[in-house]
């Protein structure tokens, strides 16, 4: 069973065929999810040296002119997925994107390796944790916010945050990923 199948993900509403999605999410963004594994489950994947931390995808993220983007974090890198052009259908469409219905799920090493493999097949970009100089998060106000990832070399990557929920989730994920490079405002 694929851990990125739509049945494993949290679908938050119907998709509009007439334009960008401006829905309210059904999930409560104020609920903090535990960042530590529960006994018997581990985020550590000894076989791969890389473990899935968490992530999400949906209409609250935008890259370029593509509304519907996904950001996923592992212990080794950050992975970006354009839901429209890089296999987003496997994530349940532009309104899904949680793994096992959670922002930061506790996965077995086998589940973690499977999720990372699935994300690798769909990625638009990935950037190694040690290749990131800093991550800037700007909270959406009257307009959109953004997340800018600045690598040690090369061009920065900017993802627009179309809702405060995206900002709140990314603050939690980046703190678990690499807090020393994160600046938020």
Per residue in 65-83, pLDDT tens? 878 899 999 999 999 998 8
Query: How many structural domains comprise the chain?
Result: 1
Pairing state of beta strands 77-82 and 125-128? antiparallel
56 in any annotated domain: yes
Q: CB within 8 A of 30, min separation 6: which ones?
A: 168
What CATH number does residue 51 fall under?
Answer: 2.30.29.30
1 in any annotated domain: no
What is each CA distance from 161 to 71, 143, 158, in whole angstroms?
Answer: 11, 9, 10
DSSP conformational letter for 85: T
Selection from 84, 106, 107, 111 nearest residue 97 by Cα? 84
Q: What is the pLDDT of residue 176?
A: 96
Per-residue pLDDT band for 46 (boundaries 50, 70, 90) equals very low
Q: What is the pLDDT of residue 98?
A: 81
For a pLDDT cut of 90, what percent of the chain falls above it?
A: 51
Selection from 27, 47, 71, 94 nearest residue 174 by Cα? 71
Per-residue pLDDT tens for 126-136?
999 999 999 99
10 in any annotated domain: yes
Q: CB within 8 A of 103, min separation 6: which ones?
A: 33, 54, 55, 56, 169, 172, 173
Domain that holds residue 159: 6-184
> Which residues share a beta bridge with 127?
78
pLDDT for 18 beyond 60: no
**The whole model's pTM is what?**
0.71
């Amino acid at each position: 069973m694929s851990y990125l199948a739509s049945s494993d993900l949290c679908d938050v509403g119907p998709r509009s065929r007439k334009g960008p999605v401006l829905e309210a999410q059904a999930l409560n963004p104020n609920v903090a999810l535990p960042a530590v594994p529960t006994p018997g489950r581990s985020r550590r994947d000894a076989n791969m040296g890389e473990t899935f931390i968490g992530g999400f995808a949906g209409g609250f993220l935008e890259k370029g002119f593509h509304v519907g983007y996904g950001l996923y974090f592992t212990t080794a890198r950050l992975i970006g997925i354009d839901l429209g052009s890089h296999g987003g259908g496997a994530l349940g469409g532009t309104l899904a994107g949680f793994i096992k219905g959670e922002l930061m799920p506790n996965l077995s090493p086998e589940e973690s390796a499977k999720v990372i493999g699935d994300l690798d097949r769909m990625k638009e970009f990935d950037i190694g944790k040690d290749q990131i100089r800093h991550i800037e998060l700007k909270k959406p106000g009257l307009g959109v916010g953004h997340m800018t990832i600045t690598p040690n070399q090369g061009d920065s990557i900017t993802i627009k945050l179309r809702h405060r929920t995206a900002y709140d989730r990314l603050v939690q994920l980046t703190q678990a990923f690499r807090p020393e490079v994160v600046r938020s405002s």
